[in-house]
């Protein structure tokens, strides 16, 4: 179905054409007409399916139709998101699709000075895209008024619950007008999401464009069993041997993200880390450099699993499996977007076998496992429990950090000989792009 068949205004169609979009995705085809009708909506769609445009386009049109001359720029739409990166991404979509409309928008999140945000709000805005914590700061300072909000969007609602934002969301609900349209978008559904929907939505319509807890068909998934102590060397080898030019790597903890990026730099790979302890400026610069190709490897915690919109990202690596199985879906959803092919590689040590089993149970499929020659795991090593492990959906994160990872492995394990380690580092630096006979056999 074409965008022109969905009842969108001439200004919005002009904006979509400017971006090269003519055909609507399934979630857009189903969500846009319902939102235009004023329905409350509970929508489920895997990441990378275009759901941001699915609510942004009809939201803009409803503002356009209901009150085209909002001269005071009262806040009429509020979009809540879990992370700074997602706030920036959604804010960019609002600007992109609203380029031919008179509406003003403001992006509000923490990690940066609140004063410019206050100045912008005082000048008047129609649409606010915010993370819950910083929005509450503004509410408490009385620097924002939400009593005219007509539409509320909760994007990545399951992630907000995982990060412990449920109490913040309820506090925000209390200052919103009772009569409003509510849209709840979530990559995965759970009992908690259903409960939130029951509290928030009024006679909602429900759409789900993919089976619950599924991954994009374009993403090939593979597991490489390896000892924990050899993960970094194997990662460098894979990047160099495969000539991977753009790789997003996920770790469980901020400490490991920092440590791994430094180790990869020593291997001759340009790398940077992003996580909650990094300043917003540092995170923005690292992401920009990664998109431009100045950084070859971006190492991130799960804070970046949502909201990173990188075109044609070919490779995602789970250096450490997530403690919550659903986060695996969000992580690998950064690749294989907009119909493009992608590859998700997981480096799994003996400690993570239970986590892997939980992920496979969630996906209802086994992930192919290939042992790379020269990196065979030592079968004599016994597993050590990972703190806060397991794959229970009700494991919750603090909004200030990530789950802690496993403790360092003090046990002995097979280590590479000097020649093997040197070869891996050389391949990482040179990125020859050739496929060795060893890697062909492994594949």
Give the per-residue pLDDT at 423: 52
Q: Which helix (H) or strand (E) holds 205?
A: strand 205-208
Can you tell me the distance from the alpha carbon of 322 to that of 294, in angstroms, rounded to the nearest whole number? 27
Q: Which residues pair with 248 in a beta bridge?
A: 298, 316
CATH topology of domain 3-208: Rossmann fold (3.40.50)
Query: Which residue spans within 215-259 are E strands per DSSP?
Result: 219-225, 247-250
Whole-model pTM: value is 0.65
Residues 439/372, Cβ–Cβ less than 8 Å: yes
Give the per-residue pLDDT at 339: 59
Residue from 259, 256, 249, 230 nearest 405 by CA: 256
Full pLDDT tens readout for the chain, 443 residues:
899 999 999 999 999 999 888 999 899 999 999 999 999 999 987 666 788 999 999 999 999 987 655 566 799 999 999 988 889 989 999 999 999 999 999 999 998 899 999 999 999 999 999 999 999 999 999 999 999 999 999 998 888 887 789 999 999 999 999 999 999 998 777 778 888 888 889 999 999 876 555 555 678 999 999 999 999 999 999 999 999 999 999 999 999 999 999 999 999 999 999 987 888 788 889 988 998 899 999 999 987 555 666 767 899 999 999 998 888 888 888 887 655 678 999 999 999 999 999 999 988 899 999 999 999 999 999 999 887 644 333 333 333 333 333 333 333 333 444 444 545 555 555 554 433 333 322 32
Can you tell me the distance from the alpha carbon of 253 to that of 322, in angstroms, rounded to the nearest whole number? 10
CATH 3.40.50.300 domain span(s) along the chain: 3-208, 219-442
Give the per-residue pLDDT at 4: 93
CB burial of residue 410 (10 Å; 0-12, 13-18, 19+): exposed
Q: Compute CA distances 92 → 61, 97, 109, 390, whole Å.
A: 17, 9, 14, 36
Can you tell me the distance from the alpha carbon of 297 to that of 362, in angstroms, rounded to the nearest whole number? 28
Count of H helices and E strands in the chain? 16, 14
Give the per-residue pLDDT at 102: 92
One CATH from 3.30.465.10, 3.20.20.60, 3.40.50.720, 3.40.50.300 for 219-442? 3.40.50.300
């Amino acid at each position: 179905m074409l965008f022109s068949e969905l009842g969108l205004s001439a200004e919005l169609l002009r904006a979509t054409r400017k971006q090269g979009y003519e055909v609507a995705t399934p979630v857009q085809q189903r969500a846009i007409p319902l939102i235009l009708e004023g329905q409350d909506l509970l929508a489920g769609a895997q990441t990378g399916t275009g759901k941001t445009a699915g609510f942004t386009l009809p939201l803009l049109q409803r503002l356009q139709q209901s009150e085209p001359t909002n001269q005071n720029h009262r806040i009429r739409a509020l979009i809540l998101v879990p992370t700074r990166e997602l706030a920036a991404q959604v804010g960019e979509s609002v600007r992109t699709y609203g380029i031919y409309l008179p509406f003003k928008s403001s992006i509000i999140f923490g990690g940066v000075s609140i004063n410019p945000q206050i100045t912008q709000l005082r000048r008047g805005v129609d649409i606010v895209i915010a993370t819950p914590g910083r929005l509450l700061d503004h509410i408490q300072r009385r620097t924002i008024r939400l009593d005219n909000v007509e539409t509320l969007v909760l994007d990545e609602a399951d992630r907000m619950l995982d990060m412990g934002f449920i109490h913040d969301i309820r506090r925000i609900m209390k200052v919103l007008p009772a009569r409003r349209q509510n849209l709840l978008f979530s990559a995965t559904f759970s009992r908690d999401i259903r409960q939130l929907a029951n509290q928030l939505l009024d006679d909602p319509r429900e759409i789900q464009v993919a089976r619950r807890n599924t991954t994009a068909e374009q993403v090939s998934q593979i597991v490489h069993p390896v000892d924990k102590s050899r993960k970094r060397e194997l990662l460098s080898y894979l990047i160099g041997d495969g000539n991977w030019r753009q790789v997003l790597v996920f770790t469980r903890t901020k400490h490991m993200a920092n440590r791994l990026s430094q180790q990869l730099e020593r291997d001759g790979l340009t790398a940077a880390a992003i996580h909650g302890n990094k300043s917003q400026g540092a995170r923005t610069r690292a992401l920009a450099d990664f998109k431009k190709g100045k950084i070859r490897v971006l190492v991130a915690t799960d804070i970046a699993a949502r909201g990173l919109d990188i075109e044609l990202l070919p490779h995602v690596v789970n250096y450490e499996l997530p403690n919550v199985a659903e986060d695996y879906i969000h992580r690998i959803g950064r690749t294989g977007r907009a119909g493009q092919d992608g590859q998700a590689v997981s480096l799994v040590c003996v400690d993570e076998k239970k986590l892997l089993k939980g992920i496979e149970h969630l996906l209802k499929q086994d992930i192919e496992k290939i042992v790379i020659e020269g990196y065979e795991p030592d079968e004599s090593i016994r597993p050590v429990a990972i703190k806060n492990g397991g794959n229970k959906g009700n494991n919750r994160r603090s909004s200030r950090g990530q789950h802690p990872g496993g403790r360092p492995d003090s046990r002995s394990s097979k280590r590479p000989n000097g020649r093997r380690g040197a070869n891996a580092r050389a391949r990482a630096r040179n990125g020859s792009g050739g496929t060795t006979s060893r890697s062909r056999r492994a594949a």
